[in-house]
Amino acid sequence: MPVVHPRTCSLCEAMCGLLLTVEGDRVVSVRGDDDDPLSRGYLCPKGPAIAALHEDPDRLRTPLRRTASGWQEIGWDEALDLAAAGIHDVQQRHGRHALAAYIGNPAVHNTGTMLYGPSFLRTLGTRHRYSATSVDQLPQMLAAYLMYGHQLLLPVPDVDRTQHLVILGGNPLVSNGSIMSAPDMKRRLADIRARGGKVVVVDPRRTETAEVADEHVFVRPGSDALLLAAMVSVLFEDGVERATPAPVRNLDALRTATREFTPESVAAATGIDAATIRRLTRELAASPAGVLYARVGVSMHPFGGLCHWLVNAINVIIGALDRPGGSMFAKPAFDIIAAPAPLGLGRGSFGRWRSKVRGLPEFGGELPVATLAEDIEARASDDPIRALVTIAGNPVLSTPNGRRLEAAIAGLDFVVAIDFYLNETTRHAHVILPPSGPLEHGHFDVALHAIAVRNTVKYSAPVFAIGGHQRHDHQIMTGLERRLHALRGAGISARLEVAARERLGPERILAVGLRAGPWGLRRGLGGVSLAKLRRSPHGIDLGPLTPSLPDRLPARRDGTAAHIDLAPQEFLGDVDRLRASLRDATPGLVLIGRRGLRSNNSWMHNVPKLMAGKPRCTLLVHPDDAARIPAVDGDVVRVRSRIGSIDAPIELDDGMMPGVVSLPHGFGHHREGTGQRVASAHAGVSINDITDEQAVDALSGVAAFSGVSVSVEAIP
Ligand SMILES: Nc1nc2c(c(=O)[nH]1)N[C@H]1C(S)=C(S)[C@@H](COP(=O)(O)OP(=O)(O)OC[C@H]3O[C@@H](n4cnc5c(=O)[nH]c(N)nc54)[C@H](O)[C@@H]3O)O[C@H]1N2
Ligand SMILES: Nc1nc2c(c(=O)[nH]1)N[C@H]1C(S)=C(S)[C@@H](COP(=O)(O)OP(=O)(O)OC[C@H]3O[C@@H](n4cnc5c(=O)[nH]c(N)nc54)[C@H](O)[C@@H]3O)O[C@H]1N2
Ligand code: SF4
Ligand SMILES: [Mo]
């Protein structure tokens, strides 16, 4: 008898509701769930692929140990013993910071890693923590931390009520929305236009989103902070000053810092004429419900920190912050911001220590991953890195100068990977610990409800049970912690604490967090609880976003009352660098990235259905630039940067800004020994074989992928 399981898709931030029809141990169909209050039936081509992931014969289900003659399958006790012993041995010989840890993006989409990851990292006890944050949203978190006082106070555009949406450096029609969980953006954007609103896209490429917008404006990659500073200067020039939801500080400092960046002064560098900058700004400010939304294109950016500072500042000045139709904050049922310390992620920190080679700043206890290779190579330092743990990541393909990092990882004494695929990074592990697959554990989005465009809540029970021969991510982590404590001769309280977490499991932690949250017990006995969610498997609608900032804004660490800081010192200190960028704009071609609807960063390339059709790892080039190479559509060309070169086929695209070329990231599956047969057959090349680990936002340390200087040559 087929059984239908409602479930939240865990593959991207959109949190679509899926209906899985299951017969025995097979998923026979996947469709969108009309009763899901957030996605209302929408799903993208990746949703059904969750079934293929479940069934993928190349997905690892048994721990592997590296031997001289190749991988050997081993049992869990042996694998966990080996992994813990390897970690312990390195830490004992070289100190606890001799271990590095890298946490990848899918960890955010997994309830177990979200709830157990922080304590696992504390037990590892290393300062050499790295994650996908520093190739992604780090500047957004930095702006939230410095301006609002909490790294997770990330505003989201209230797309369902806005009348004027400006999208800068985001392509939600393909990415399905990011730091803006909003399934079916195509419909949501069409709705804005249908109610008489306007959608504007500012992007070096006429993207899929730009195609359905009212207006698209090209911007020179890497120049957005100049554009944004000019927009702020126009707002001040026009005397725009709206009420704010909370006390604001340093408005005058913001005015002074941006005054020199007139639209005229930035026109050449941004490629946008002064009149257009003024008009874009005035239209946004004039709308009764306008909002500026910016995402990775201006986050993984040489001025990522300044960009996200100025985006927030603009939304404050135009009165969009915390206003319906503007830039709002979700009120999640499991509130990671307000949750007590062991459950929450903390308000953040910045610059408490620095990376040992380049001196890049710590953020939230992590270092920028652009420094990982050099940090490993600096072996002679009194702080060497000799071992690595990766969880749900693939930094060889996803971080700048992946080839250098790969060589550094290959030279480590010991590598453990918690991952269910052999990928370009985990193939260097000594032990691989594969967790349960996406349908084999309960699912609750601990992080994403906090950045959703509507307050909803949903829990999905496991579709398939795992047998005794498999482990969940959280069990792998506590299994390692327990063993490390034993090897270290840790005290009884540390051991009891792990034992308690092991017994609890994510569901019980969730249950407590939901009861304590803003929609829980304080709403009476009928409030949100895990039991209630189990009875409502399609999810519960908690309504549109509501103004909430005054309740959420924390008092500052230095004792000052809660406020919005419009001009934190850290950003003001970076304005000199911005001014200098007006002079040294790079001539010649620059490279940017792009995402594909049927890709998910470096993975899901082993799903045959998603890989069908023509090759997607192509270099998009404007026809005028192609004529100069010279090359025609389909020619394989050599793309060269300071770091190296890769060869990729050209796809002519008059939607590219002249002088800008684009390549997707996450490909490069030609490396031997990943065991992902479909991915290898659609290998492509890795853009991060030529991105530059020295190119970072000097303020935040995030990798600056937006605008890598390259040359493109015909191959003789
Ligand atoms: N040049 C360039 N580089 C980029 C980007 C770009 O735009 N341009 N984008 C950057 C961004 S935004 C990001 S987020 C990063 C992503 O980079 P990473 O986070 O390093 O890489 P992913 O490809 O997301 O990692 C996927 C791995 O996680 C594993 N995995 C999936 N689910 C689970 C799970 O539940 N548990 C465990 N343990 N493992 C799991 C998969 O098997 C796979 O091996 O890439 C960044 N790199
Ligand atoms: N299908 C699919 N969906 C995904 C992912 C995926 O790999 N595939 N990855 C997920 C992840 S981890 C993330 S972080 C999100 C990201 O979600 P988005 O932020 O929407 O990411 P992108 O689609 O890469 O859009 C970035 C845009 O920035 C533009 N851009 C590049 N450089 C610049 C610049 O200097 N200035 C400006 N203004 N724009 C620039 C690019 O042309 C591109 O259109 O997507 C998530 N969703
Ligand atoms: S947009 Fe696609 S990948 Fe993202 S949650 Fe929805 S179905 Fe899953
Ligand atoms: Mo990301």
Q: Which of 55, 77, 98 is the last residue of a domain?
A: 55
Q: Name every protein residue with a CB atom under 6 angstroms from any ligand 2 atom.
A: 12, 105, 136, 168-172, 174-176, 178, 202-205, 207, 219, 221-222, 224, 295-298, 301, 592-597, 599-601, 706-707
Cα–Cα–Cα angle for 408, 397, 653, rounded to 5 degrees: 140
Q: Is 557 within a domain?
A: no
Examine the pLDDT at 298 and tell me if it is beyond 80: yes
Residue 467 or residue 452, greater confidence = 452
- Give the CATH number for residue 48: 2.20.25.90
pLDDT grade for 263, boundaries at 50, 70 and 90: very high
pLDDT score at 242:
93
User: Closest residue (by CA) to atom 30 of ligand 1?
Assistant: 392
Q: Is 109 in the pocket of ligand 3 (CB under 6 A)?
A: no
Q: What are the CB-based long-range contacts (under 8 Å, 24+) for 550-557?
A: 550/245, 550/246, 552/150, 552/153, 552/329, 552/337, 552/338, 553/148, 553/149, 553/150, 553/153, 553/246, 554/149, 554/150, 554/347, 555/149, 556/149, 557/149, 557/347
| Ligand index nearest the alpha carbon of residue 676 | 1
- Boundaries of domain holding 280: 155-328
Token pair in block for residue 172:
């939600």
Residue to probe by mutation, ligand 1, list 10, 135, 473, most atoms within 8 Å of CB: 135
Verify that 468 and 390 share a domain, yes or no: yes
Verify that 240 and 371 share a domain, yes or no: no
- Give the CATH number for residue 262: 3.40.228.10
Q: Is 555 within a domain?
A: no
Residue to probe by mutation, ligand 1, list 13, 113, 394, most atoms within 8 Å of CB: 394
Atom of ligand 3 nearest to the CA of 32: 7
Verify that 299 and 171 share a domain, yes or no: yes
Q: Is 322 within a domain?
A: yes
Q: Is 691 in the pocket of ligand 1 (CB under 6 A)?
A: yes
Q: Is 415 in the pocket of ligand 1 (CB under 6 A)?
A: no
Pairing of strands 645-652, 636-640: antiparallel
Q: Is 417 within a domain?
A: yes
Verify that 160 and 42 share a domain, yes or no: no
Verify that 183 and 319 share a domain, yes or no: yes
Q: Which of 268, 300, 328 is the last residue of a domain?
A: 328
CB 456 within 8 Å of CB 541: yes
User: Among 473, 455, 422, which Cα is nearest to 108's?
Assistant: 473
Least confident of 520-534, 576-590, 654-668: 576-590
DSSP secondary structure letter of residue 521: G
Examine the pLDDT at 333 and tell me if it is beyond 90: yes
Query: What sign results for the dihedral spanned by CA atoms 206, 209, 215, 221?
Result: negative
pLDDT score at 383:
83
Verify that 112 and 211 share a domain, yes or no: no
In the chain, the number of structural domains is 4
Verify that 303 and 389 share a domain, yes or no: no
Q: Is 20 in the pocket of ligand 3 (CB under 6 A)?
A: no
CB 51 within 8 Å of CB 90: no
Token pair in block for residue 246:
């909370």
* Spatial distance between the Cα atoms of 662 and 458, rounded to a whole number of angstroms: 37
Q: Which of 289, 305, 328 is the last residue of a domain?
A: 328
Q: Is 147 within a domain?
A: no
Each residue's pLDDT tens digit, 612-658: 999 999 999 999 999 999 999 999 999 999 999 999 999 999 999 99
Examine the pLDDT at 693 and tell me if it is beyond 70: yes
| Distance of CA 396 from the midpoint of ligand 1 (Å) | 10
Measured CA to CA in angstroms, residue 96 lies from 123, 284, 488, 662 at distances of 10, 51, 11, 41
- Give the CATH number for residue 679: 2.40.40.20
CB 464 within 8 Å of CB 54: yes
Verify that 324 and 341 share a domain, yes or no: no
Q: Is 603 in the pocket of ligand 1 (CB under 6 A)?
A: yes
Specify the residue for token string 């001539």: 587
User: Among 564, 568, 574, 566, which Cα is nearest to 252's?
Assistant: 566
- The mean of the pLDDT values for the chain is 96
CB 454 within 8 Å of CB 539: no
Q: Is 268 within a domain?
A: yes
CA 519 remoteness from chain centre: 27
pTM: 0.98
* Spatial distance between the Cα atoms of 80 and 476, rounded to a whole number of angstroms: 8
pLDDT grade for 341, boundaries at 50, 70 and 90: low
Verify that 344 and 259 share a domain, yes or no: no
Question: Residue 455: CB partners within 8 Å, gap ≥ 6?
Answer: 330, 331, 332, 333, 449, 519, 541, 542, 543, 544, 545, 546
Spell out the alpha helix ranges (H) of 573-702: 575-583, 608-611, 623-628, 677-681
Verify that 107 and 219 share a domain, yes or no: no
Verify that 369 and 515 share a domain, yes or no: yes
Token pair in block for residue 700:
């935040």
User: Closest residue (by CA) to atom 19 of ligand 1?
Assistant: 104
Pairing of strands 26-32, 17-23: antiparallel
User: Among 461, 457, 447, which Cα is nearest to 528's?
Assistant: 457
Each residue's pLDDT tens digit, 265-297: 999 999 999 999 999 999 999 999 999 999 999
| Distance of CA 89 from the midpoint of ligand 4 (Å) | 33
Verify that 310 and 192 share a domain, yes or no: yes
Atom of ligand 1 nearest to the CA of 296: 12
Examine the pLDDT at 342 and tell me if it is beyond 90: no
Percent of the chain at pLDDT > 90 equals 96
Residue 553 or residue 344, greater confidence = 553
Residue to probe by mutation, ligand 1, list 298, 388, 398, 416, most atoms within 8 Å of CB: 398
- Give the CATH number for residue 94: 3.40.50.740
Q: Is 694 within a domain?
A: yes
pLDDT grade for 340, boundaries at 50, 70 and 90: low
User: Among 473, 441, 452, which Cα is nearest to 539's?
Assistant: 452
Examine the pLDDT at 314 and tell me if it is beyond 70: yes
pLDDT grade for 586, boundaries at 50, 70 and 90: low
Q: Is 248 within a domain?
A: yes
